[in-house]
């Protein structure tokens, strides 16, 4: 049976990665439609309905969300809560109304409890309050899991969700004050090297890294995540969420990220850690045991190689990158 797959948030980081993978595959039994915020206002029910009427999807990958980095979240928790609840409720309600056969929504490891044993797994999402810095976004995302279970219980709908660790790659949002940690660093380092004091010798320049550099994170390359999203859409048949993350051993410090970026840019200056800036959550190590049991042979891209690809994409596409 042929599929019409609607990807909300399809012009963002993960959507573009899925589009890249699908273009390589060129499947003949699937029609893929990637929509961005210009296509519909997903906080508005009628605008969202018009989009569903236009495309009549059989499957939905729901990526659209109000997202941002640590400092953007800290200052706008109410907006993150309300807008994401509105978006998610509209997309799932209309997926049910239009008899969509499967919805795969995107959660995040940052929704897990702040105080929890590690590694975290899929059973622990609701075990306590999330970190105070992003409680609005976290609770809105947790509600997707609640709604998925409720739609399945009451109507039998196959609505499920995935929980990626931190994602990075081409087509990221590099906007200062809004971006996540890796694109934020890429933007700042590019400016330091190429735009600020261009006559100053690079050896005398300083790259400020926000925080102590000690927090630990798992990062997944967007192309790897795209491949896993597509696998979930085609093969994963459960309303229970599944963590899509690199292995625990692949966890790196923010200091490692900064050094990897400096190497990718061939930066000859000095790294300095600005300890006046907040570190955020120290760690949120996720277990991918469930994924590994279902897909044991999956090969993740080496972190430093993925960083090099991401930096090169930004340099090559600087003029059109979101910044």
Give the other-Cβ count within 10 Å of 127's Cβ.
Answer: 12
Q: What is the pLDDT of residue 132?
A: 87
Q: How much is the pTM?
A: 0.93
Ordered by start, the domain boundaries in the chain are 3-169+217-250+287-302, 181-214+252-284+305-316
Which CATH number is 181-214+252-284+305-316 given? 3.90.25.10
pLDDT string in tens for the chain (323-residue length)? 789 999 999 999 999 999 999 999 999 999 999 999 999 999 999 999 999 999 999 999 999 998 777 677 778 899 999 999 999 999 999 999 999 999 999 999 889 998 899 999 999 999 999 988 889 999 999 999 999 999 999 999 999 999 999 999 999 999 987 788 999 999 999 999 998 888 899 999 999 999 999 999 999 999 999 999 999 999 999 999 999 999 999 999 999 999 999 999 999 999 999 999 988 778 889 999 999 999 999 999 999 999 999 999 999 999 999 88
Q: What is the pLDDT of residue 198?
A: 84
**Helices in the chain by DSSP H: which ranges?**
13-25, 45-55, 70-75, 77-97, 135-155, 181-194, 222-235, 254-265, 289-294, 303-316
Which CATH number is 3-169+217-250+287-302 given? 3.40.50.720
Q: What is the pLDDT of residue 281?
A: 77
**Residue 137 designated active-site:** yes
The helix/strand/coil state of 94 is helix
Q: How far apart are CA 84 and CA 67, in angstroms?
A: 9
Residue 62: name the closest of 162, 140, 152 by CA. Answer: 162
Q: How far apart are CA 295 and CA 105, in angstroms?
A: 20
Q: What is the pLDDT of residue 283?
A: 84
DSSP 144-167: HHHHHHHHHHHH---EEEEEE-EE
Q: What is the pLDDT of residue 72?
A: 75
55, 118, 137, 151: which one is catalytic?
A: 137
């Amino acid at each position: 049976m042929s599929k019409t797959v609607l990807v909300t948030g399809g012009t963002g980081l993960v959507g573009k990665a899925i589009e890249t993978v699908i273009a390589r595959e060129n499947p003949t039994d699937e029609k893929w439609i990637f929509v961005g915020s210009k296509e519909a206002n997903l906080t508005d029910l009628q605008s969202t309905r018009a989009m569903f009427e236009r495309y009549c999807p059989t499957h939905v990958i729901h990526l659209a969300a109000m997202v941002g980095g640590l400092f953007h979240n800290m200052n706008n928790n109410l907006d993150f809560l309300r807008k994401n609840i509105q978006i998610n409720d509209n997309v799932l309600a209309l997926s049910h109304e239009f008899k969509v056969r499967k919805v795969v929504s995107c959660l995040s490891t940052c929704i897990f409890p702040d105080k929890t044993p590690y590694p975290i797994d899929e059973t622990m999402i609701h075990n306590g309050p999330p970190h105070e810095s992003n409680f609005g976004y976290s609770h809105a995302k947790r509600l997707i899991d609640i709604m998925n279970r409720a739609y399945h219980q009451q109507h039998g709908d196959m609505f499920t969700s995935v929980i990626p660790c931190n994602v990075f790659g081409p087509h990221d949002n590099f906007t200062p004050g809004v971006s996540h940690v890796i694109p934020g660093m890429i933007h700042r380092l590019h400016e330091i090297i190429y735009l600020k004091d261009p006559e100053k010798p690079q050896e005398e320049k300083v790259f400020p890294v926000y925080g102590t550099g000690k927090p630990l994170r798992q990062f997944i390359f967007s192309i790897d995540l795209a491949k896993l999203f597509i696998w979930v859409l085609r093969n994963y048949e459960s309303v229970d969420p599944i963590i899509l993350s690199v292995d625990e051993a692949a966890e790196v410090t923010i200091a490692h990220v900064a050094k990897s970026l400096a190497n990718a840019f061939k930066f000859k200056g000095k790294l300095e850690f600005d300890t006046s800036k907040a570190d955020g959550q120290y760690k949120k190590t996720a277990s991918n045991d469930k994924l590994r049991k279902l897909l044991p042979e999956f090969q993740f891209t080496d972190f430093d190689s993925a960083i090099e690809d991401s930096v090169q994409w930004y340099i090559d596409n600087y003029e059109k990158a979101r910044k």
